Structure 1
Amino acid sequence: LFHPPSLLPVPLTSTSTSEGILTSSLRDIHHSFINTQTADMASVIKDALPSRLKPGNGEAEGRHHGKSQSHVAFENTSTSVAASQMRNALNNLADGVTDPKEKKRFETEMDNFFALFRRYLNDKAKGNEIDWNRIAPPKPEQVVDYNSLGNSESVEFLNKLAVLKLNGGLGTSMGCVGPKSVIEVREGMSFLDLSVRQIEYLNRTYDVNVPFVLMNSFNTDSDTASIIKKYEGHNIDIMTFNQSRYPRILKDSLLPAPKSAGSKIADWYPPGHGDVFESLYNSGILDKLLERGVEILFLSNADNLGAVVDLNILQHMVESKAEYIMELTDKTKADVKGGTIIDYEGQARLLEIAQVPKQYVNEFKSIKKFKYFNTNNIWMNLRAVKRVVENNELAMEIIPNGKSIPADNKGEADVSIIQLETAVGAAIKHFHNAHGVNVPRRRFLPVKTCSDLMLVKSDLYTLKHGQLVMDPNRFGPAPLIKLGGDFKKVSNFQSRIPSIPKILELDHLTITGAVNLGRGVVLKGTVIIVATEGSTIDIPPGSVLENVVVQGSLRLLEH
Structure 2
Amino acid sequence: MSLAEQIDALPAPVLKRLHDRGFDEARLVQRAATIGVERDARNRLSGRVEPPAPDDIATAPVAGTADHARCRERGLSALSRGEVALCVLAGGMATRMGGVVKALVEALPGRSFLDLRLGENAALERLVAREGAHVPLWLMTSEATERPIRDALGPRLDGERCATFEQNVSLRLTPEGALFFDEDGGPGVYATGHGDLPDALRRSGLLDRFRARGGKTVWIANLDNLGATVDPAILGWHLAHGGPITVEVVDKVGSDRGGGPVRWNGRRVITEEFRLPRGFDPSTVPVFNTNTFLVDAAALSALVMEWTYVEVEKQIGDRKAIQFERLLGEITAALEPRFLRVPREGLASRFLPVKDEAELERRRPEIEAIAKARGMLG
Band the TM-score falls in, shorter-chain normalisation: 0.7 to 0.9
Change (3 A) 1:418 1:98: closer
- Give structure 1 stretches of 5+ with no counterpart: 1-83, 407-413, 469-559
CA distance in 1, matches of 2:229, 2:45: 36
Aligned to 1:341: 261
Candidates 87, 90, 101, aligned match of 1:179: 101
Runs of 4+ in 1 over 6 A off after TM superposition: none
For 2:185 and 2:302, how far apart are their aligned partners in 1?
Answer: 34
Change (3 A) 1:450 1:128: closer
- How many residue pairs align between the two structures? 355
Question: Structure 1 residues 125 and 173 mapped into 2: Cα distance closer, same or farther (>3 Å)?
Answer: closer
Shift of 1:461: 4.8
Contact 1:86 1:256 in 2 (8 A): yes
Task: List per-residue Cα deviations over 1:16-63 (Å, max 9, x = no partner).
Answer: xxxxxxxxxxxxxxxxxxxxxxxxxxxxxxxxxxxxxxxxxxxxxxxx
* Residue 436 (str. 1) matches residue 339 (str. 2): yes
- Whether 2:162 is the aligned partner of 1:241: answer no
Render the CA deviation track for 1:177-233: whole Å, top value 9, x for unaligned.
431011111141111111101111111221220000000000111111110116469
1:65-464 aligned at under 5 Å gives the runs 85-93=2-10, 96-97=11-12, 103=16, 106=19, 109-111=22-24, 114-115=26-27, 118=30, 124=38, 127-128=41-42, 130=44, 134-147=48-61, 150-151=68-69, 152-154=72-74, 155-158=76-79, 159-169=82-92, 172-175=95-98, 177-207=99-129, 208-229=133-154, 231=156, 237-252=161-176, 254-258=177-181, 264=186, 267-335=188-256, 337-357=257-277, 359-360=279-280, 363-364=281-282, 366=283, 369-389=284-304, 393-395=305-307, 397-406=308-317, 414-432=318-336, 434-441=337-344, 442-458=349-365, 461-462=368-369, 463-464=372-373
User: Aligned pair in 2 of structure 1 residues 199, 334: CA closer, same or farther (>3 Å)?
Assistant: farther
**TM-score, structure 1 normalization:** 0.58
* CA distance in 1 between partners of 2:136 and 2:199 (Å): 19
Alpha-carbon distance between aligned partners in 1 of 2:216 and 2:271, rounded to the nearest angstrom = 27
Which whole-Å CA distance do the structure 2 matches of 1:170 and 1:119 have between them? 22
1:330 shift after superposition: 0.4
Structure 2 counterparts to residues 390-539 of structure 1, below 5 A: 393-395=305-307, 397-406=308-317, 414-432=318-336, 434-441=337-344, 442-458=349-365, 461-462=368-369, 463-467=372-376
Q: CA deviation at 1:398?
A: 2.7
Within 2, Cα distance between the matches of 1:450 and 1:109?
32
How much identity, in percent, do the aligned residues show?
Answer: 27
CA contact (8 A) 2:250 2:342 kept: yes
1:150 deviation in Å?
4.2
The Cα of 1:137 is off from its aligned counterpart by 1.2
| Separation of aligned partners in 2, 1:230 and 1:464 | 27
Q: Which whole-Å CA distance do the structure 1 matches of 2:181 and 2:205 have between them?
A: 27
Q: Distance in 2 between matches of 1:383 and 1:460?
A: 33
1:460 deviates by: 8.6
CA drift of 1:436 comes to: 1.1
Label 1:105 to 1:458 Cα distance change in 2 as closer, same or farther (>3 A).
Answer: closer
Q: CA RMSD of the aligned region, Å?
A: 3.1
Change (3 A) 1:181 1:170: farther
Long gaps (5+) in structure 2: none
Q: Residues 169 and 180 of structure 1 are in contact (CA less than 8 Å); yes or no, is this contact kept in structure 2?
A: no
Task: Say whether the 8 Å CA contact 2:123–2:376 is kept in structure 1.
Answer: no
- Cα offsets for 1:456-506 (capped at 9, x unmatched): 3338952234459xxxxxxxxxxxxxxxxxxxxxxxxxxxxxxxxxxxxxx
Aligned-pair distance for 1:371? 0.2
CA contact (8 A) 2:51 2:262 kept: yes
Q: How far apart in 2 are the matches of 1:147 and 1:358?
A: 36
Q: What letter matches 2:331 in structure 1?
A: A
Give me the TM-score of the superposition, normalised by structure 2.
0.83
Instruction: Give the 3-state SS of the residue equivalent to 1:174 in structure 2.
Output: coil
Partners of 1:116 and 1:87 in 2: CA distance: 9
1:87, distance to aligned residue in structure 2 (A): 3.7
